[in-house]
Amino acid sequence: MLRYVEEMFGKWALTACVVMMFIPESASARGDMTSLPEWRLYGRVQPRIEYHSGAEDDIYIRRMRLGLELQHWERFEAKFELKYDNYQKRDTDSNLKSENAYVGYHPSRRSRVRFGLMNSLFSREGQVSDATYQFSDRSTIVNQIKAEGLADNVKGVAYQALFSNPGLAAGGGVYYDNDVSPELREGRDKPQYVLTFGYSSEGIGDPKSFYFGSDRLRIDITTYFLYMGNRDTAERDADLMATGLDYYIQQGDLSLGGGFFQLVKRFGDSNNQVKQGYYLEGADFLPFRFFGYGRLQLAMRYQQYLPNTTTLQPDETEYSVAANLYLNKNKFKTQFVYNRNTLKQPAFTQHSEELVIQMQVAW
């Protein structure tokens, strides 16, 4: 059933994209009967090289995307995007999948509703496109929540509203699992409910890791609440509850961000699993240009992942330093990311280092 719903979401979004390209706007919208909606065909390729201490190095295509976006009357939107990840990555299978497939409606400039396969409202990192990442990957705690099918692309309906611009913002969504194992997926999925509250100077729009050419002060602080009852897990049925808070501040070339998240699996006894963690990061551009127009951004991140003992996972601490060379904003950039990771349990402590070199060509 869920596979059928996913296929239908993709068909609806793609059909909406095609139909909206050929429907003229009304005379009251733009004053004529011939104007067509705005549309954009886009894509990106991200080749990556990884050097690991104590493990084999790897070279592969981390991400490939191809998509179509449309907007009509400044009210209607549609998006259809395909992804192909980890091509030629060692010990990893790759396949073509839908990344986004939704239609949306903006009742006003301060509100929107979306229906289909989309980014969950849970966490700012989960909503940011990988095209604008300042580091090679998301934070560890958000990836852990994503692994549960809770903070990534999911199917459902979501609503967001901004009560003043800038000002208080709120949102809510009802979603179903996406990236869960097939034996847990078929006919056994439960809805997940997400609520968000916060302050935003960015308006209603998809957030970015950095906004180029903006000198004004940007502030985004959001709290998140998620509940999923009686979820079928690999262990047994459990209630899943997640909370979090993250922030983003930018003034000119300087940006600061961070977040704290906690996921609790309640099994109804004392063996509840708790996964929690936080990250702090900052970035700034050097005051000169490379090759006449390129710019170099330096970024740093510190993060900790602190699960309780019933998860059987070690504590994790990671330091990251990134040098991002933008030759044409995010359309052509090269990232050099150094990660130092420490895994710690009562019986052992393990250190590892990694250098990631990733290019991006986008259009």
pLDDT tens-digit readout, 261-288: 999 988 877 678 899 999 999 999 998 8
Helix, strand, coil shares of the chain, percent, nearest 5, are 15, 55, 30
The DSSP call for residue 350 is: E
More reliable by pLDDT, 19 or 266: 266
CA dist list (Å): 120 to 19, 286, 305, 336, 352: 26, 34, 21, 28, 32
Q: How confident is the model at residue 308 (pLDDT cuts 50, 70, 90)?
A: confident
- Determine the pLDDT at residue 165: 74
* Mean pLDDT, range 88-116, rounded to an integer: 89
Q: Are 24 and 336 in contact (CB under 8 A)?
A: no
What is the separation of C-alpha 259 from the centre of its chain, rounded to a whole number of angstroms?
14
Tokens of 213: 């050419």
Tokens of 285: 């551009």
E strand or H helix at 259, and its extent?
Answer: strand 254-266
pLDDT at 43 over 50: yes
Instruction: Give the residue among 200, 181, 191, 125 at the shortest CA–CA distance from 158.
Output: 191
Tokens of 299: 């970024």
Highest mean pLDDT, choosing among 7-16, 135-144, 276-285, 292-301: 276-285
Instruction: Please state the domain count of the chain.
Output: 1
pLDDT digits (tens, 9 = 90+) for 203-212: 777 888 778 7
Instruction: Give the residue among 90, 74, 75, 68 at the shortest CA–CA distance from 14.
Output: 68
Give the residues across from 318 on adjacent strands.
Answer: 303, 341
160-169, 201-210, 341-350: segment of lowest average pLDDT: 201-210
Q: Which domain range does residue 139 map to?
A: 2-362
pTM of the model: 0.85
CATH number where 16 lies:
2.40.160.10
Question: What is the chain's alpha carbon radius of gyration, rounded to the nearest angstrom?
Answer: 21
Q: Are 131 and 43 in contact (CB under 8 A)?
A: no
What mean pLDDT, rounded, does the chain reach? 84
- Determine the pLDDT at residue 173: 95
Q: Cα 140–141–145 angle (5° rounding)?
A: 115
- Determine the pLDDT at residue 270: 67
CB-count exposure of residue 157 (10 Å: 0-12, 13-18, 19+): middle
- Helix or strand or coil: residue 257? strand
- Own/partner contacts of 90-94, CB < 8 Å, gap of 24 or more, are 90/56, 90/58, 90/60, 92/60
More reliable by pLDDT, 5 or 306: 306
Q: What percent of the chain has pLDDT over 90?
A: 54
10-24, 57-71, 78-92, 243-257: segment of lowest average pLDDT: 10-24
187-201, 214-228, 298-312: segment of lowest average pLDDT: 187-201
pLDDT at 184 over 70: no
Q: Are 260 and 243 in contact (CB under 8 A)?
A: no
pLDDT at 23 over 90: no
pLDDT at 223 over 80: yes
pLDDT at 188 over 50: no
pLDDT at 340 over 50: yes
Compute the half-sphere exposure of residue 250: CA atoms within 13 Å on the CB side of its CA.
Answer: 21
Instruction: Give the residue among 292, 361, 303, 356 at the shortest CA–CA distance from 331.
Output: 361
